[in-house]
């Protein structure tokens, strides 16, 4: 019997990354822009999506939403459906993040060719979702000001691969000790020049700049 060492050097996330690439191809083929929306629980992901949908109702943009939750609840997808847009609820079975496979199976239930935009609302978590490419065109994180200004320092990985940062609930700034300069310095160290929109999904303040960015990304 001979012992042997076999050199491999394979990325452990390769299987997911390959599947993510296939998802991206499907989005491209149907001319649909796709967003992976990440945030901690309670940052206002669903409210932000609803505010975006409502603001775009007049523009005939067709939006589909894939809702990831760790428990078999349809609270979020019901809200999206009530706003008149198709929503697919994905139960991750307790898993702390969505992966490319979950998005692939959700896509089976969406008529992609009828959609201009798909938003994947990831599981509320600032750690695990950062490691898994879903095959979307952009990754967006919502940081809400009640979470505190130290989050970029505590959860650096999620800020690094981002394309857009939303600072949500700015209507609460007068009531909180949130140091915007400190927060932004942390973000700048992780992701220099990151596109950032400070807004309130609730009052609508600041929403317009975000919508302008988004509309420029959508198929014309």
Partner 1 sequence: MHELSVTESILEIACRHAEQAQAARVTDVHLVIGRLSSIIDDSVQFYWDLISKETLCEDARLHFKRTPAILTCQDCHQEFELTTELTPCPNCGSARIRVLSGDEFNIESIEIERKS
Residues contributing to the site for partner 1 (CB under 8 A)? 1-16, 95-97, 99, 127-128, 131-132, 152-153, 156-157, 160, 185-186, 188-190, 192
Q: How far apart are CA 216 and CA 220, in angstroms?
A: 8
Nearer to partner 1, 6 or 71 (CB): 6
Nearer to partner 1, 1 or 175 (CB): 1
Q: Which residues pair with 69 in a beta bridge?
A: 91
Q: How far is the CB of 127 from partner 1 (least distance, A)?
A: 5
Q: How far is the CB of 16 from partner 1 (least distance, A)?
A: 8
SS3 assignment, position 29: helix
Q: How far is the CB of 157 from partner 1 (least distance, A)?
A: 6
Structure tokens at 26: 């499907």
Q: How far is the CB of 191 from partner 1 (least distance, A)?
A: 9
Nearer to partner 1, 30 or 95 (CB): 95
Nearest residue to 20 via CA among 101, 130, 106? 101
Nearer to partner 1, 75 or 189 (CB): 189
Nearer to partner 1, 153 or 213 (CB): 153
Structure tokens at 162: 């981002």
Structure tokens at 112: 């992609």
> CA torsion, points 131, 180, 55, 139, in degrees to nearest 10?
-10
Q: How deeply is 84 buried, as exposed, middle or buried, from its count of CB atoms within 10 A (0-12, 13-18, 19+)?
A: exposed
Q: How far is the CB of 95 from partner 1 (least distance, A)?
A: 7
């Amino acid at each position: 019997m001979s012992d042997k060492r076999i050199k491999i050097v394979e990325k452990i996330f390769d299987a997911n990354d390959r599947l993510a690439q296939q998802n991206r191809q499907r989005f491209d083929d149907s001319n649909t822009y796709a967003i992976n929306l990440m945030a901690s629980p309670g940052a206002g992901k669903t409210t932000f999506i609803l505010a975006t949908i409502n603001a775009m109702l007049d523009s005939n943009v067709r939006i589909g939403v894939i809702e990831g939750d760790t428990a078999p609840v349809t609270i979020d997808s019901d809200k999206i459906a009530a706003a008149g847009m198709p929503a697919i609820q994905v139960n991750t079975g307790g898993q702390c993040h969505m992966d490319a496979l979950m998005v692939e199976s959700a896509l089976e239930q969406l008529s992609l060719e009828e959609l201009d935009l798909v938003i994947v609302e990831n599981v509320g978590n600032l750690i695990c979702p950062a490691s898994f490419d879903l095959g979307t065109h952009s990754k967006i994180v919502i940081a809400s000001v009640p979470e505190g200004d130290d989050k970029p320092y505590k959860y650096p990985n999620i800020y690094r691969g981002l394309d857009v940062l939303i600072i949500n609930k700015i209507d609460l700034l007068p009531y909180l000790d949130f140091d915007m300069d400190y927060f932004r310095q942390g973000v700048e160290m992780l992701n220099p020049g990151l596109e950032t929109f400070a807004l309130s999904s609730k009052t609508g303040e600041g929403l317009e700049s975000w919508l302008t960015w988004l509309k420029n990304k959508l198929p014309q």
